[in-house]
Structure 1
Amino acid sequence: MTSWGILGTGGIAAAMAADLQLHGHTVGAVGSRAPESAARFAAAHGIPRSHGSYEELVADPDVDVVYVATPHPQHAPNALLALAAGKHVLVEKPFTMNRAEAERIAYAATERGLVAMEAMWTRWLPHILRLHEVIADGTIGEVRTVVAHHAQRLSADPAGRMLDPALGGGALLDLGIYPVSFAWDVLGAPTAVQAASASTATGVDRQTAILLSHAGGAQSVLTCGLDARGSNDAVIVGTSGRIELDPFFFSPTSFRVLDSEDRLIERFEATVTGRGMQYQARAMERLIEVGGGEDPRMPLRQSVEIMGTLDAVRERIGLVYPGS
C-alpha cells in the first residue's frame, strides 16, 4: 500500500490529510521546518511519525510519495528535494512559480523514473468527468467560449501571504490558476494571451482579467480577484448549447446542460464525500502501482505549459516576483 508523506502543515495540508484518511489511504508521516508544528499536525490527524525538517521527511524509508503543500515559492525546491530522495511527488497548484521551475521538476522526475503530478484536484471530480463526456458526444456542438471566474474576499493584511510578493501572493497564482487550468482542460493550449490587471499597494495583482485565444477561433474569458467575492461559476458555450457550472465550479458542484433554445437537457449532481481531494490521490497511486507515467487528466507536460501561460499573463500585467 502506498504511504504518503505530507510536506507542510498549513490548511491545504490538513484538508488533504483528512481526505486521504477518510478514503482509506495511508498517511505515514508529516514534515515541517518546525518540529513542534509537525508534532501538532501528526497528533491532530493521527499520523504515526512527524519530522522536524523536510529533509527528514523525504528520507523516511516508509514514505513512497510526498504531497508538497508549502507556499508557491517553495514548491520547486521542495519537490526537487523529494525527487532527489527517490520519492514520487504530488505538488500543490500552482505547480511552481514559473515555467522554468516546472521544467526542472519534469526533468528530475523523468531522469529518476518517478511520478510528478500537479495537485489540480478539480480535474478528477465527477462533474468535470461528466462535462467532458457531454462535450465529447456533441451535445453542445463545437465549443466556442469558456467563461470562468474565481474571486474571493480575502484578508487585507499587508503582511499576510496573499499580499506578499515574496510568498507568491496576488490573485493570479492563488485563484487565477483555477480558471486558467479549466480553460486549458476544455480548449487546450492558448494560441495568444491578453490580460489586464489592477495591483495592490504591495505590488501583487488585486484582480486580473485574462483573454485566451485557442485553435479554431475559440476563446476563454477568465477573471480572478482577492478583495471582492465573485460569482465563482463557469460557462462552456457551444454552437448547439451550453454547460452552466454552479459555484464553485472547481469544487464538487452541479451543472446544467441547455440547448440553443435554453431548454434543459441535463441536470448533473454528484455526492462527494469529503472535500474531493481523494480522486487526485487515487490517480497518483494508480501511476505508482503501474510503475510511472502520467495521468491523462493532468499530464506533467501540461502543467509545465500552464505555467508558461501564467508567465505570459504576468508579463502582460507587469507582475514580478522576487527571484522569479
Structure 2
Amino acid sequence: MTSTYSLPQSRVPDPRDAPTLRWAILGPGWIATRFVESLHRNTSQQVVAVGSRTAARAEQFALAHGIERAHGTYDAVFTDDAVDIVYVATPHTEHRAHALAAIAAGKHVLVEKPLAVDAAGAAEIADAAGAAGVFAGEAMWTRFLPKFDVIEQVLSSGVLGPIHTVLADHGEFFTRDHRIYDPTLAGGPLLDLGTYVASFAYSVLGRPDTVYATRRPATEDIDGQISAVLSGPDGHAVLNTTILTDTPTTATVCGRDGTLTIPGPFFMPGSFAVTMRGGGTVEYDEQPGLQVDGLHYAAVDAARTIDAGRRESSIHPLSDAVATLDIIDRIRASISA
C-alpha cells in the first residue's frame, strides 16, 4: 500500500430510503430507548406499539416516545394486527422465549444481542423462523455500520495478506447495583460485552478449533473478567472482556502484509486505520458516534430484507449469531473445566 491507496466506499444505502415497517418494542428499557431514538432520528420506520410486563411502564415509554399503543402484556403485542415486526429488548434470559412467541404469532422479529443465552437457543429461534416463514435477526448493530462494511471489504480484498492475529477488548466498569451483577439475568461480562469481541473474532477468522479461557470472579455468582485465546487453522484471536474496569475497547487485525487498527470503542461509529508492513497508513475518517447513531442500521437492513422476500440478513445471518454463541458456550466450558 502506498500513500495514494484509497479505502473502498461504504455500500450501505441511506437508512431513510428503506421500506417502512411498523415496529413494536418488547421491553421498554435502556437499549430500547436508544433503539427508538435511533429509528426516529435516522429512518422512516414507524414505532407503533410498546409492550411491557406492566401497563404503567408501557404507557410511560409510549408517552415519552410518541408511540400510539401501549400494551401491559407481551402477548398483546404478539396479537396486535398493526405490528409488522417485534424488536425484543427484554433481558437476555427472555430473548429465546419472547422471540419464539413472536414467531409463533406470525411476526417478524429482531432480537437485541445476544440472540439467546446459548447456541442451542439461537438455533431454535432460527429453526422456528424458517418453519414459520418469517424474518428473524440478531441486532448485532456493529456488523451493520458503514464503517464495518468498509472493514469487511478491506479484509475480503486480501490487502493485509494472510491474517494471523486478532485482538479485541471490551471492558466497562459497572457498580454492583447494575443488573449486570444479577446472576438470574445471566449477569457478568460475557453476554453483554463479550458478545462484541467474540462476534468480531468470528467475522475475521471463522470458527476456532480450540478455545481456552480464564476468569476472575466479581462475586460468588458471576464472573468479573474473562480472557480467551481462540485458535484456528489461519490464526489466533486474543479476547478480553470485563465489568471490573474501563478498558481501551480497541480491536486489531494483523496480517502478514498489514494491520487494521480500530480505536476504542471499536464497536461504535468512528475511525480506523490500515498500516502496511512496508510503510504507509490510510485512515477511515468518521465522526465518533454512540448507540443512537447506529442502532437503526440493523432495523433498516431487516426492512430491506423483508421487502425483498428474504427471511434473514445477508450481512449478519442467523448462522453467524449461532456461531458466536457457540464460541461463548466454549468459553464457558473452558472456564468451568
Describe the shift of the 1:305–1:135 C-alpha distance in structure 2 as closer, same or farther (beyond 3 A). closer
1:238 alignment partner, one of 231, 255, 270: 255
Matched, 1:13 2:29: no
**Inter-partner Cα distance in structure 2 for 1:37 and 1:169:** 23
**Aligned counterpart, 2:93:** 73
**Aligned counterpart, 2:285:** 269
**Inter-partner Cα distance in structure 2 for 1:277 and 1:104:** 25
**Inter-partner Cα distance in structure 2 for 1:305 and 1:179:** 13
Query: How much does 1:2 deviate?
Result: 1.1
Query: How much does 1:19 deviate?
Result: 0.8
Structure 1, unaligned stretches of length 5 or more?
320-324
**Structure 1 counterpart of 2:284, one-letter code:** F
Matched, 1:311 2:323: no
| 1:188-203 pair list within 5 angstroms | 188-203=206-221
**Structure 2 counterpart of 1:213, one-letter code:** S
Aligned to 2:286, what secondary structure does the other structure show? Answer: coil
CA contact (8 A) 1:165 1:202 kept: no
CA contact (8 A) 2:130 2:311 kept: no
Matched, 1:213 2:231: yes
**Inter-partner Cα distance in structure 2 for 1:241 and 1:152:** 29
Query: How much does 1:229 deviate?
Result: 0.4
Describe the shift of the 1:135–1:305 C-alpha distance in structure 2 as closer, same or farther (beyond 3 A). closer
**Inter-partner Cα distance in structure 1 for 2:330 and 2:297:** 30
**Structure 2 counterpart of 1:269, one-letter code:** D
**Aligned counterpart, 1:322:** none
Query: How much does 1:262 deviate?
Result: 4.8
**Inter-partner Cα distance in structure 2 for 1:308 and 1:136:** 24
CA contact (8 A) 1:126 1:270 kept: no
Aligned to 2:63, what secondary structure does the other structure show? Answer: helix
Matched, 1:302 2:316: no
**Structure 2 counterpart of 1:54, one-letter code:** Y
2:115 alignment partner, one of 91, 95, 108: 95
Aligned to 2:166, what secondary structure does the other structure show? Answer: strand
Aligned to 2:312, what secondary structure does the other structure show? Answer: coil
Matched, 1:227 2:244: yes
Query: How much does 1:293 deviate?
Result: 2.7
Aligned-residue CA RMSD in angstroms? 1.4
**Inter-partner Cα distance in structure 2 for 1:294 and 1:262:** 41
Aligned to 2:165, what secondary structure does the other structure show? Answer: strand
Structure 2, unaligned stretches of length 5 or more?
1-19
Aligned residues: 315
Instruction: State the TM-score, normalizing by the size of structure 2.
Output: 0.90
Structure scoring higher RCO (CA < 8 A, sep ≥ 6) equals 2
**Inter-partner Cα distance in structure 2 for 1:80 and 1:294:** 15
